[in-house]
């Protein structure tokens, strides 16, 4: 039983935050394309960014900011242009965006963090940015989370948002988050962005540690196509406006906060996997029996990322062989005679050998998950994923990963954006 409850409000659910999302004219489509999240007071800030060596100006900018100062007031995000592979001019555009917003908010530019998503190789449309920033600040609201969530998406089918609340030191503490996932903007790639707000008081170092661990169990455990973007960013603020005592070291309260942070990140990550390009279902892979959790996650991610497994799920084929093979190549040693594979409630493989099972019923299980997905595709519901459960031995390690199936539409979306 989780130690928290879901509440409404997204990133403005925690106290002391406002958000806004407007149409500034950055996207050719005319859809909302500029988002802002601000904290009323200077907040502790932590971030996890793309590991790619080809990265957007905003990624270098944020890394530098957080290296100098582990706090921030605002997160500014534009959609439409990724501002990656844009050289020194891209760096100047990022700097100017931060300066413009800082002036408007009357704060130091170093308290502003930046994110971009959109076409790689294109600079931010600075005219639209310049005229958009005052309007964006004017639109800030304590109920602005949905507007911000809508302005960061690209071709995502749905916005992604969550807020949870727990009790720490007898007072409510809240964490909210919004994200965007694997939408494709011609001529480029899926970018994962997530922004998290929290009203607990927590030390900068601990907050960064918590965020990094939460990212490993969530955003780093999802896969749509294995392609890491130039712009992937996860930024989390903690502003202390819950008026709870400062959490400065691990202990019961820190664990509670980290568990809730992890739950927020996992929700957003699953929402991204569920909305993967061409997906017809969400897949959750659960691995047990490894030496440690890291090894279990590694196997889970390999299975969730296997093109053969993903195609089989799209074909509604209870194909234990591909699952076993993906587990075997994950780089984690195990005795194949210990391998067990379950699909939903169907035990397909035990002691490393295939069992007789009701193949039609197992296929129907996959079809049902896809049917449920299809009827909920325009909602944020994450229930009824396809569950693949794999045990590899007697160890205590557990890990999960999430992905989606590989459909004709994935190829269509990614091939037919031809000039």
Residues that bind a second copy in the complex, under the rule CB under 8 A: 50-55, 85-87, 119-121, 187-190, 225-230, 305-308, 311-312, 314-322, 324-330, 332-334, 336-337, 339, 349, 351-354, 359-360, 363, 406-408, 410-412, 414-419
Smallest separation, CB 343 to a second copy (Å): 13
Beta-sheet pairing, 233-238 with 193-198:
parallel
Q: Between 269 and 339, whose beta carbon lies closer to a second copy?
A: 339
- Check if 290 is active-site: no
Closest CA to 83 of 158, 236, 191, 235: 191
Q: Between 108 and 351, whose beta carbon lies closer to a second copy?
A: 351
Closest CA to 218 of 181, 165, 168, 174: 181
**Tokens matching residue 65:** 């900011």
Smallest separation, CB 202 to a second copy (Å): 31
Q: Between 245 and 354, whose beta carbon lies closer to a second copy?
A: 354
Beta-sheet pairing, 346-350 with 160-168:
unpaired
User: What is the Cα–Cα distance from 195 to 143, expressed in whole angstroms?
Assistant: 16
Closest CA to 178 of 283, 264, 83: 264
Smallest separation, CB 326 to a second copy (Å): 7
Could you write out the DSSP letters of every residue in 311-326?
Answer: HHHHTT---HHHHHHH
Smallest separation, CB 388 to a second copy (Å): 15
Q: Is the dihedral of CA 236, 237, 243, 246 positive or negative?
A: positive
Smallest separation, CB 134 to a second copy (Å): 31
Q: Between 380 and 414, whose beta carbon lies closer to a second copy?
A: 414
Q: Please state at what angle helix 252-274 crosses helix 204-216, rounded to 10 degrees.
A: 40
Smallest separation, CB 146 to a second copy (Å): 30
Indicate which residue of 166, 191, 244, 262 is catalytic. Answer: 191
Smallest separation, CB 3 to a second copy (Å): 36
User: What is the Cα–Cα distance from 39 to 134, expressed in whole angstroms?
Assistant: 17
Smallest separation, CB 412 to a second copy (Å): 7
**Tokens matching residue 43:** 């907040």
Q: Between 24 and 332, whose beta carbon lies closer to a second copy?
A: 332
Closest CA to 116 of 226, 233, 236, 28: 233
Q: Between 166 and 223, whose beta carbon lies closer to a second copy?
A: 223
User: What is the Cα–Cα distance from 230 to 246, expressed in whole angstroms?
Assistant: 35
User: What is the Cα–Cα distance from 144 to 37, expressed in whole angstroms?
Assistant: 9
- Tell me the C-alpha to C-alpha distance, in Å, between residue 394 and each of 11, 296, 326, 339, 397: 41, 12, 20, 10, 9
Q: Between 167 and 411, whose beta carbon lies closer to a second copy?
A: 411
List, in sequence order, the alpha helices (H) in 333-401. Answer: 359-375
**What order do you get walking across the sheet with 340-343 strand by strand?**
222-223, 397-404, 282-290, 386-391, 340-343, 346-350, 353-354
Q: Between 159 and 319, whose beta carbon lies closer to a second copy?
A: 319
User: What is the Cα–Cα distance from 262 to 216, expressed in whole angstroms?
Assistant: 9
Give the number of residues written for the chain. 419
**Tokens matching residue 29:** 């489509």
The catalytic residue positions are: 191
């Amino acid at each position: 039983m989780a130690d928290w409850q879901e509440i409404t409000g997204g990133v403005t659910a925690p106290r002391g935050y406002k958000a806004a999302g407007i149409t500034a004219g950055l996207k050719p489509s005319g859809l909302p394309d500029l988002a802002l999240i601000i904290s009323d007071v200077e907040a502790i800030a932590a971030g996890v960014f793309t590991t790619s060596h080809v990265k957007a100006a905003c990624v270098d900018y944020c890394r530098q900011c957080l290296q100098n100062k582990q706090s921030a007031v605002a997160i500014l995000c534009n959609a439409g242009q990724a501002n990656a592979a844009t050289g020194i001019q891209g760096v100047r555009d990022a700097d100017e965006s931060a300066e413009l917003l800082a002036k408007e908010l009357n704060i130091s530019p170093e308290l502003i963090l930046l994110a971009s998503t959109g076409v790689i190789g294109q600079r931010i449309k600075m005219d639209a940015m310049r005229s958009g920033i005052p309007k964006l600040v004017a639109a800030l609201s304590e109920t602005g989370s949905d507007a911000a969530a809508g302005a960061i998406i690209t071709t995502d089918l749905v916005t992604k948002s969550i807020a949870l609340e727990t009790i720490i030191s007898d007072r409510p503490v809240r964490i909210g988050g919004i994200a965007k996932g694997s939408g494709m903007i011609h001529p480029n790639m899926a970018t994962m962005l997530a922004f998290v707000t929290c009203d607990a008081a927590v030390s900068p170092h601990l907050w960064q540690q918590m965020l990094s661990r939460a990212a490993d169990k969530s955003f780093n455990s999802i896969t749509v196509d294995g392609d890491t973007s130039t712009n992937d960013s996860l930024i989390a603020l903690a502003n202390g406006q819950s008026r709870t005592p400062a959490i400065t070291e691990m202990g019961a309260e820190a664990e509670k906060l980290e568990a809730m942070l992890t739950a927020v990140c996992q929700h957003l990550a699953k929402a991204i996997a569920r909305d993967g390009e061409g997906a017809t279902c969400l897949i959750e892979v659960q691995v047990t029996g490894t030496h440690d959790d890291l090894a279990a996650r590694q196997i889970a991610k390999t299975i969730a990322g296997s093109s053969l497994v993903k195609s089989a799920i799209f074909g509604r084929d209870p194909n234990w062989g591909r699952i076993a093979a993906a587990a075997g190549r994950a780089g984690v040693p195990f005795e194949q005679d210990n391998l067990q594979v379950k699909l939903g409630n169907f035990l397909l493989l035990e002691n490393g050998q295939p069992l007789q099972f009701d193949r039609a019923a197992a296929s129907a299980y996959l079809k049902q998950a896809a049917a449920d997905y299809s009827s909920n595709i325009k909602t944020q519901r994450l229930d009824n994923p396809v569950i693949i459960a794999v045990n590899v031995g007697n160890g205590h390690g557990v890990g999960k990963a999430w992905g989606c199936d590989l459909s004709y539409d994935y190829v269509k979306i990614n091939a037919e954006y031809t000039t």
